[in-house]
Chains A and B, each alone.
Chain A
Amino acid sequence: MLGLKKKDATLLLIVIGLTMFAPFILNPFPDGSAMAQFNAGYPDLMQRFVIFGIFAIGFNILFGLTGYLSFGHAAFLGIGSYSAVWMFKLLSMNVIPAILLAMVMSGLFALLIGFISLRRSGIYFSILTLAFAQMMFALAYSVLTPITGGETGLQLALDDPRVLGASQTAGGNIPVPGLFGMEMRNSFDLAISSWVFTFNVGYYFCALILIAAFYLAIRIFRSPFGMMLRAIKSNQTRLNYTGLNPRPYTLAAFVISGMYAGLAGGLMASMDPLAGAERMFWTASGEVVLMTILGGAGTLIGPVLGAGMIKYMENIISKINSDILHSWFAFLPDGLEDFIVAIVYPFIGKGWHLTLGIIFMLVVIFLPGGLVEGGQRIAKWLKRGKTEDTKPGKSTEPAE
């Protein structure tokens, strides 16, 4: 199918299935029940899942294939967001030109930064990209305030020109981003007994782009170009001795990866028309590294899973406060209840970083191939339970 081998086609179908039915999958608990706290099927979070999925897929093309660890990838995310918001301010609220400009601008910056940074490899490359990203963050935060809005972030205003659209709606409000009249924030609720499923235009728009981005990533992974990138990762010196210059390949991978980040940034701005400098801060760059490693660097679906996992923790676990905990354990005797709440409390709410850190450590120590390796082990274990003489499947190699 579409030039894919059967295994890859299955993977693509799985991704299509997961994204299309996400509103159902992410809302397993009925509305109003105690477990509804863990539902993640609301538009904003679903959009974040797929947008950060795209970001991580792009990052994985660089890190998973060439082994070059960019520690400044958030810069491209930020550039994409700023470009998209400027498009909304100047041209129109249609998301297509905004996303295109976001990709072009981030591609150009990636070309420049990559050209300089890729002269070094290993830790020096990481530090160079980190330095560039921090430089761009500092510029966006203060020096370039007229272009970036500084600390407040770049926002839409009622008096923006928007030459191809209206400056304001008939009601005197700022128009919202849309695709030829379809507003990104529109959604409709499907209520089946006590379950409520929300279908959001913006989410499905992002999901379609994620599928396209995922398909492109599969093609890159399986292409001769992808093979070349793997060769660079496994032994660059040997590649040099065979008379090949690896730099054009790494630069191409860097630019592609930067454009993926720009696409994600553009989508973020399309879902929520605001671009802030924090998007380029080094912690944001670190986050995508975590997502990729958590999910499984060098695998196709790993980064998407990692992105989903981290965003879920950030948005769901961080919102559980002590009152909710008390209501969960209310059936216990008072002293015991307080004791259990006191033990659990540091790991939820504002302590979600702690939980994430523990999970990350466990994954890195016991599952070096990330969540994907976990899945493979479970699958293997299940298979072994059925037939004794299955030969071991191909396991995932850790990235570094």
Chain B
Amino acid sequence: MSKTNLTRRGVLKSGAVAGAGVALPTIFTASSAAAYTNEPTGSSVTLGFNVPQTGPYADEGADELRAYELAVEHLNGGGDGGMMNTFSSKALKGNGILGKKVEYVTGDTQTKSDAARASAKSMIEKDGAVMITGGSSSGVAVAVQALCQEAGVIFMAGLTHSNDTTGKDKRANGFRHFFNSYMSGAALAPILAANYGTDRKAYHLTADYNWGYTTEEAVKTSTEAMGWETVAAVRTPLTQTDFSSYIAPVLQSGADVLVLNHYGGNMVNSLTNAVQFGLRDKLVNNKNFEIVVPLYSRLMARGAGANVKGIYGSTNWHWSLQDEGTKAFVKSFGTKYGFPPSQAAHTTYVQALLYADACERAGTFNPCGVAEALEGFEFDGMGNGKTLYRAEDHQCFKDVLVVRGKENPTSEFDLLEIVEVTPVDQVTYDASIFGGDLGTCNPGA
């Protein structure tokens, strides 16, 4: 009779060893097989939409998310196809990307760099997202872009206007379709000179953070080149809600133009204060006092109400444009949601399509292949006319819109009118002027 000595502990032990043995081969296959981070192996591919759902830019975030959902629908062959029909590249067939069905995960950036990175990380590590897109603040965009560079996935920036995103802080895995402060300044200056003359004295109120600085710098440089003089540039705290103490000294300074380098709620409040102080009815140096807002958005115009009438600013895109791409996009967005899209929705929709198209043309989801397909890519039919994704800094170059608050708006969406479409040549700059270094593309894994 043999002695088996079958104890509970012994059975557990040998079971564990056997289990580890079974598991062992998969350990080696799991980590070494992928050629790049989150290579999609199944019948679907996951994209990560990282937008602010809470916090000061939640409205923009909600509109971005609507646009992404629309883009996914179109990529998977649903709906009317939107801009896929007007897009100059015909690589997209409406069967997902590279034959894989597009799925998506969403996250909340809270407009905080930390939260945005945590959310993006969970999309990459947990949900296996192969591309991250979204954001509606430059701080968040720069932070998430750096993360994607480290992790080895593509980042398609959403609403971010600071020069730094594709300037000082550019990364090889990051791409931006939206325009920037420099372009705003370059597009606005000639219009301002034509309407207000070349011997104006400007007074800047600037939101005290990174985006404010680059916008102030851009507007200052380009208006001074037209012959304007900058009397003063005052920084205002980002959390300020009452700007009366900043408006009062403006008239004493002898300035006859006020430039508000503010965005979102800041701009709504400062503009309202300035108008309430009667600045626009004043005559200074025998000229009508004027106000300029370098970056406009429809949501801001709505917040400021009647105060925006006749005030100049710039935007990336506006739904009242009459080209085929814009019409197709506004139609499918309007059909689905019942109102026209904002510029945030437009840029994110376009970014999603551009990414999908680049994957198709590259034949892979590998970030390095996708980046190569996007670099130097020229396209049309996406609402901004002929556009170039410049290889040197991954910034899109396209026409910029100069807009003005409408005198007689017909609806709450019809608040801005297009004054001029500034051609792309006028807003193009040398890629090296902002410093920074792209580095090399990182496929991860």
Contact = CB atoms under 8 A, between A and B. Distances in A.
Interface in B96-143: 105-108, 112-115, 117-119, 121-122, 125-126, 138-139, 142-143
Contacts of B53: 349-350
Interface stretch (B146-154, B181-189, B252-260): B146-154
B118 A278 contact: no
Contacts of A326: none
Contacts of A157: 437
Interface in B392-445: 437, 439-440, 442
A152 B142 contact: yes
A190 B23 contact: yes
B209 to A, nearest CB: 4
A80 B440 CA distance: 30
A217 to B, nearest CB: 25
A158 B439 contact: yes
Interface in B194-218: 208-211
Interface string A134-156: 00001001100100001111011
A145 B238 CA distance: 14
B169 interface: yes
Contacts of A138: 237
B27 interface: yes
A47 to B, nearest CB: 9
B23 A319 contact: no
A156 B171 CA distance: 12
Nearest to B444: A185
A192 B113 contact: no
A43 B209 CA distance: 32
A161 B149 CA distance: 20
Contacts of A42: 122, 125-126
Given A153-B143, A274-B143, A158 B437 contact: yes
Interface in A315-338: 315, 318-319, 321
Contacts of B125: 42-44, 198
B209 A274 contact: no
B26 interface: yes
Interface in A180-197: 185, 188-192, 196
Interface residues of B, number: 47
Contacts of B26: 190-192
Contact of B30 (A48, A189, A349): A189
A191 B237 contact: no
B361 interface: no
A115 B144 CA distance: 38
B206 to A, nearest CB: 11
Nearest to A268: B114
Nearest to B61: A350
Interface residues of A, number: 46
Contacts of A188: 27, 30-31
B27 A189 contact: yes
Contacts of A276: 112-114, 139, 143
A242 interface: no
A196 to B, nearest CB: 8
A278 B121 contact: no
Contacts of B19: 192
Contacts of B117: 272, 274
B235 interface: yes
B54 interface: yes
A270 B23 CA distance: 31
Given A173-B440, A192-B23, A315-B118, A142 B143 contact: no
A54 B433 CA distance: 44
A191 B33 CA distance: 14
Interface string B287-324: 00000000000000000000000000000000000000
5 contacts: A48-B118, A274-B114, A274-B143, A315-B119, A318-B119
Interface of B: 19, 22-23, 26-27, 30-31, 53-54, 58, 105-108, 112-115, 117-119, 121-122, 125-126, 138-139, 142-143, 146-147, 149-150, 162, 164, 169, 208-211, 235, 237-238, 437, 439-440, 442
Given A278-B112, A314-B115, A349-B108, 20 more contacts: A42-B125, A142-B237, A142-B238, A145-B210, A150-B210, A152-B169, A155-B169, A157-B437, A172-B439, A172-B440, A188-B27, A188-B30, A189-B30, A190-B30, A276-B114, A278-B114, A315-B119, A318-B119, A319-B119, A350-B54
